[in-house]
Chain A
Amino acid sequence: MTKNDYDLIVIGGGPGGYVAAIKASQLGMSVALVEDKHLGGICLNWGCIPTKALLRASEIRHMLDNVSEFGFTVSDIKMDINNITKRSRKVAAQLSEGISHLLKKNKVFVYEGFGNLEKGSIDSKTIMIKTKTETISKKAKNVIIATGARSRNLPFISSDGVNVWDYKTAMTPPKLPSSLIIIGSGAIGMEFASFYNDLGVDVTVVEALPSILPNEDEDISKIVDNNFKKRGVVIKTNATLKSVEILNKSVSAEISVNGKVEKINAEKLILAIGIVPNTENLGLDNYNVNFDKGHILTNEWMETDEKGIYAIGDVTAGPWLAHKASHEGILCVEKIAGHKDLIPIDKTSIPGCTYCRPQVASIGLTEKNAKFQNLNIKVGKFPFVGNGKAIALGDSEGMIKTIFNKDTGELIGAHMVGPEVTELIQGFSIAKKLETTEQELMHTIFPHPTLSESMHESVLDAYNQAIHY
């Protein structure tokens, strides 16, 4: 039998890969991680984290614009987009360095380069690691593919980093554009729309589906839609992008809205229309690894059709979220370690968060999906305008909606829009994981005054017992 260099090699150092590597090492495996550039992946370097730093800045801008409400007068506010992006980069760098320390502390060997699988046996897979200076061959019993995804382009238009931006350029604009078209109203599109709108840019959002944030509950989408429109964001739904023309100092987009073609112009355009998994140049065709719409197919333990080759995170089926990738990493490593009594991921229990203003957070089925599944449901709604803490914060727009199975009392969905809801949603995540019914949630004491009381009231409302509404 061939001697392996490692029990496990993880290709890709994002929130899926590095977490899997650390966990594997903690479970006593010898582990190497192959990552070319950015420990922490897109999430930490060019995604979740730096955008949160940017959104913090635009949130402060929004507060500064409204300080008079709180009794302040501020004059002569100056804004420098370069300083805003600089802070965002600093935040990302700080965290990436932290990951490097964590890996070192957990004795994970990191190869800076690209990994490519060569033909091997069940017990031993060879990975050619191409670093800047050399190509090294290493053998491992198990391999985890955690190479993530990149933003999707359209056949007729790709981001060029000048006029047509992808997320990277959008995060580090050389200067603030006067106007912006954003194609796609998912989490990424809406966060950029919120950021640039708060900084004073004229924003137009183009969404092909009938509502923005199309994965969210319709009631929630509607509230965000109203809020954005009130702020001056132009929202075009049922609108497909036909073509893009790069003009001298602007971009012209031809869109078809409900079948009617119209032209919109802006200084820059951001493509935020989803992701493409990074599955190329990995040598996967040397193995029985299969795909569904470009994403690697796995079983519930993240193992591909090839024994010993696993895939986690954005290269696999959605939802494409960092926390799902991390969880998959842990689960898959525990499976490799032979742990018993593991529970596969329940995709209706993965919370999703969008950090636009107002924030959006949800878990489980939307009302529409629940009805589509012919579930007998009870729906509770509670607006933040009925919540003391929200009013005191001066941020009372939004609501919390809860959906229960009428027959069993199972919490099948929770949908929130409003202040800090991205921090609140975990309460319902725990409730779902512990399989509480409405009874336990009703009998839980929520502290007063907090935004979380709205969660309680929403549950009570589902059973017509709300007190404050």
Chain B
Amino acid sequence: MSIDILMPALSPTMEEGTLSKWLVKEGDKVESGDLIAEIETDKATMEVEAIDEGVIGKILVDEGQESIKVNVPIAILLLEGEELTDLTNKVEEEIIEKKSIDKKIIDDKILEDNIVKVSKPTFKSEIKEKILDIIKDRIFITPLAKRIAKQRDIDLNSLLGSGPNGRILKVDVENYNNNKNVKNLNKTSIDNFELVKNSAMRKTIADRLVKSKNEAPHFYLSLDCNIDELLKIRSALNSKAKEQYKISVNDMIIKASSAALMKVPRANASWENENTKYFHTTDISVAVAIEGGLITPIIKDVQSKGLLQISEDMKNLADKAKNGKLLPEDYIGGSFSISNLGMYGIKEFSAVINPPQGCILAVGAGEKRPTVINEQIIIATIMTVTLSCDHRVVDGAVGAELLSEFKNFIENPSLMLL
């Protein structure tokens, strides 16, 4: 029986995507795990792997075809000994039937109604995909460890397994608690240090940052911004808030970054090896410190959002981040990053680029400094910002242009209204 290769969902909310590139052609032999195509959405590009081994019998969508709905067949895989000939007609019929079923609205009842229409192979592949999803997310843990973790309310994702193939054992769950205890009772510890196992998040952060520093040639641009005007507008806005909202300086920095990026779209880009990707929207990743690490949730389409919406989004995302409730789509992607350490009184710093993005803006504290304005030394609130750029994506002049646009928006906030 042949197997349909379906358009995969790259995120829980993805409905459609673009088949940017075929990596195989009809008649190619593939093995399970071979890359067969590249799928692109507005958020990410991902490679699609073959799930079974066989021969690519027919490619059903052309390279570059856009708006392919999730779970629509994109190719047919022939298993050993199968011929394409008989299949073709049957397959085309099936596609038409399947297209009529919008995956998103299939709940159990609707599925039942359509059951006659959906042919068997579809079910098989759907089930297979579901199984693969489960395996991908599967946590290997012994029954005893699982039970103890549940009793102690320990998140299984935060455990590292010391058993075969990383299987989580009872001792790992117990050590998790011990570590916690040691943390709380530091003074009772005999050693003058404490070994804390690196969580999956720590390791991901480490991998990504090392990758960034190794691969992306960083250069840095710094600038002082006078934020007196911005602070004035902020307090004017907040004075009208009646406790309904509270716009932060950071919200305004997010907006200013977006406005600057829209003016200098060449800086709103990411490195994709073969291509440089220039974004049409400004999806701003904002670094949020959380227990045991940090994460960069994304405020999407900032260019079309007002300060109020940005402020609300930021608040929601920060809450979700702190409670570990972010969905992958909340933090995967983004076109530009901001890291703000101003609240700690940091004067200035340079941040590590969040790959594959081209730039990250490091924001320092706004502080009163003597400044020369109109040949006079006066006291103004100055905020130093440093832009880290990946030179593969953004050249010095482009980065400088972006930063000066940013300064312009920050110092003349009313321009953001335009």
B169 within 8 A of A: yes
Specify which of A341, A407, A435, A440 is in contact with B170 (CB 8 Å cutoff).
Answer: A435
Binary flags per residue of A435-453, CB closer than 8 Å to B gives 1, else 0: 1110110000000000000
Verify B162–A343 contact, CB threshold 8 A.
yes
Verify A436–B144 contact, CB threshold 8 A.
yes
A305 within 8 A of B: no
Verify A435–B143 contact, CB threshold 8 A.
yes
Q: How far is the CA of A387 from the CA of B151 in the complex (A)?
A: 36
Verify A409–B144 contact, CB threshold 8 A.
yes
Query: Which B residues are closer than 8 A to A by beta carbons?
Result: 142-145, 147-148, 151, 162-164, 169-170
Residues of chain A in range 244-284 having any CB-CB distance to chain B below 8 Å:
none
Binary flags per residue of A336-356, CB closer than 8 Å to B gives 1, else 0: 000001010000000000000
Verify A408–B147 contact, CB threshold 8 A.
yes
Specify which chain B residues have a CB less than 8 angstroms from the CB of A439 in the assembled complex: 143
Verify B163–A437 contact, CB threshold 8 A.
no
- Taking each of B144, B145, B163, which has the highest tally of chain A beta carbons within 10 Å of its own beta carbon? B144
Verify B142–A407 contact, CB threshold 8 A.
no
- Taking each of B143, B148, B151, B163, which has the highest tally of chain A beta carbons within 10 Å of its own beta carbon? B143
List 9 A–B pairs whose Cβ atoms lie within 8 Å, in order of A's numbering: A343-B162, A343-B163, A408-B144, A408-B147, A434-B143, A435-B142, A435-B145, A436-B142, A437-B143
Chain B residue with Cβ nearest A410: B144
Specify which chain B residues have a CB less than 8 angstroms from the CB of A435 in the assembled complex: 142-145, 169-170
Looking at chain B's contact residues, is the secondary structure mostly helix, strand, loop, or mixed? helix
Specify which of A343, A408, A434, A440 is in contact with B148 (CB 8 Å cutoff).
Answer: A408
Looking at chain A's contact residues, is the secondary structure mostly helix, strand, loop, or mixed? loop
Verify A434–B142 contact, CB threshold 8 A.
yes
Q: How far is the CA of A407 from the CA of B151 in the complex (A)?
A: 9
- Taking each of B148, B151, B162, which has the highest tally of chain A beta carbons within 10 Å of its own beta carbon? B148
Q: How far is the CA of A118 from the CA of B147 in the complex (A)?
A: 52
B248 to A: closest C-beta gap in Å: 47
Specify which chain B residues have a CB less than 8 angstroms from the CB of A341 in the assembled complex: 162, 164
Q: How far is the CA of A409 from the CA of B147 in the complex (A)?
A: 8
Specify which of B143, B148, B169 is in contact with A436 (CB 8 Å cutoff).
Answer: B143
Q: How far is the CA of A408 from the CA of B143 in the complex (A)?
A: 10
Chain A residue with Cβ nearest B148: A408
Q: How far is the CA of A435 from the CA of B145 in the complex (A)?
A: 7
The 7 closest A-B pairs by CB, nearest first: A435-B142, A435-B144, A437-B143, A410-B144, A437-B144, A408-B148, A440-B143
Q: State how many residues of chain A have any CB contact under 8 Å with chain B.
A: 12
Specify which chain B residues have a CB less than 8 angstroms from the CB of A410 in the assembled complex: 144, 170
B385 to A: closest C-beta gap in Å: 45
A-B contact count (CB 8 A): 29
Specify which chain A residues have a CB less than 8 angstroms from the CB of B163 in the assembled complex: 343
Specify which chain A residues have a CB less than 8 angstroms from the CB of B170 in the assembled complex: 410, 435
Chain B residue with Cβ nearest A408: B148
Specify which chain B residues have a CB less than 8 angstroms from the CB of A407 in the assembled complex: 151
Specify which chain B residues have a CB less than 8 angstroms from the CB of A437 in the assembled complex: 143-144, 147
A309 to B: closest C-beta gap in Å: 27
Q: How far is the CA of A89 from the CA of B151 in the complex (A)?
A: 55
B170 to A: closest C-beta gap in Å: 5
Chain A residue with Cβ nearest B165: A341
Specify which chain B residues have a CB less than 8 angstroms from the CB of A434 in the assembled complex: 142-143
Specify which chain A residues have a CB less than 8 angstroms from the CB of B169 in the assembled complex: 435
A189 to B: closest C-beta gap in Å: 36
- Taking each of A407, A410, A434, A435, which has the highest tally of chain B beta carbons within 10 Å of its own beta carbon? A435
B149 to A: closest C-beta gap in Å: 10
- Taking each of A434, A436, A440, which has the highest tally of chain B beta carbons within 10 Å of its own beta carbon? A434
Specify which chain A residues have a CB less than 8 angstroms from the CB of B151 in the assembled complex: 407-408
Q: How far is the CA of A407 from the CA of B148 in the complex (A)?
A: 9
Q: How far is the CA of A439 from the CA of B143 in the complex (A)?
A: 9
B223 to A: closest C-beta gap in Å: 48
Q: How far is the CA of A343 from the CA of B169 in the complex (A)?
A: 11
Specify which chain A residues have a CB less than 8 angstroms from the CB of B148 in the assembled complex: 408
- Taking each of B147, B164, B170, which has the highest tally of chain A beta carbons within 10 Å of its own beta carbon? B147
Q: How far is the CA of A60 from the CA of B106 in the complex (A)?
A: 70
Residues of chain A in range 407-456 having any CB-CB distance to chain B below 8 Å:
407-410, 434-437, 439-440
Specify which chain A residues have a CB less than 8 angstroms from the CB of B143 in the assembled complex: 434-437, 439-440
A300 to B: closest C-beta gap in Å: 12
A432 to B: closest C-beta gap in Å: 9
Specify which chain B residues have a CB less than 8 angstroms from the CB of A343 in the assembled complex: 162-163
Chain A residue with Cβ nearest B164: A341
Chain A residue with Cβ nearest B170: A435
Q: How far is the CA of A440 from the CA of B141 in the complex (A)?
A: 14
Specify which chain A residues have a CB less than 8 angstroms from the CB of B164 in the assembled complex: 341
* A-B contact sample (8 more), CB < 8 A, given A343-B162, A409-B144, A410-B170: A408-B144, A408-B148, A409-B147, A434-B142, A435-B142, A436-B143, A437-B143, A440-B143
Q: How far is the CA of A67 from the CA of B179 in the complex (A)?
A: 63
Residues of chain A in range 398-412 having any CB-CB distance to chain B below 8 Å:
407-410
Q: How far is the CA of A300 from the CA of B170 in the complex (A)?
A: 18
B72 to A: closest C-beta gap in Å: 41
Q: How far is the CA of A343 from the CA of B164 in the complex (A)?
A: 9
Q: How far is the CA of A410 from the CA of B143 in the complex (A)?
A: 9
Q: How far is the CA of A439 from the CA of B142 in the complex (A)?
A: 12
Specify which chain B residues have a CB less than 8 angstroms from the CB of A436 in the assembled complex: 142-144
Q: How far is the CA of A124 from the CA of B360 in the complex (A)?
A: 55
- Taking each of A410, A436, A439, which has the highest tally of chain B beta carbons within 10 Å of its own beta carbon? A410
Specify which chain A residues have a CB less than 8 angstroms from the CB of B162 in the assembled complex: 341, 343
A459 to B: closest C-beta gap in Å: 14
Q: How far is the CA of A435 from the CA of B147 in the complex (A)?
A: 10
Specify which chain A residues have a CB less than 8 angstroms from the CB of B144 in the assembled complex: 408-410, 435-437
Q: How far is the CA of A185 from the CA of B142 in the complex (A)?
A: 38
B411 to A: closest C-beta gap in Å: 56
Specify which chain A residues have a CB less than 8 angstroms from the CB of B142 in the assembled complex: 434-436
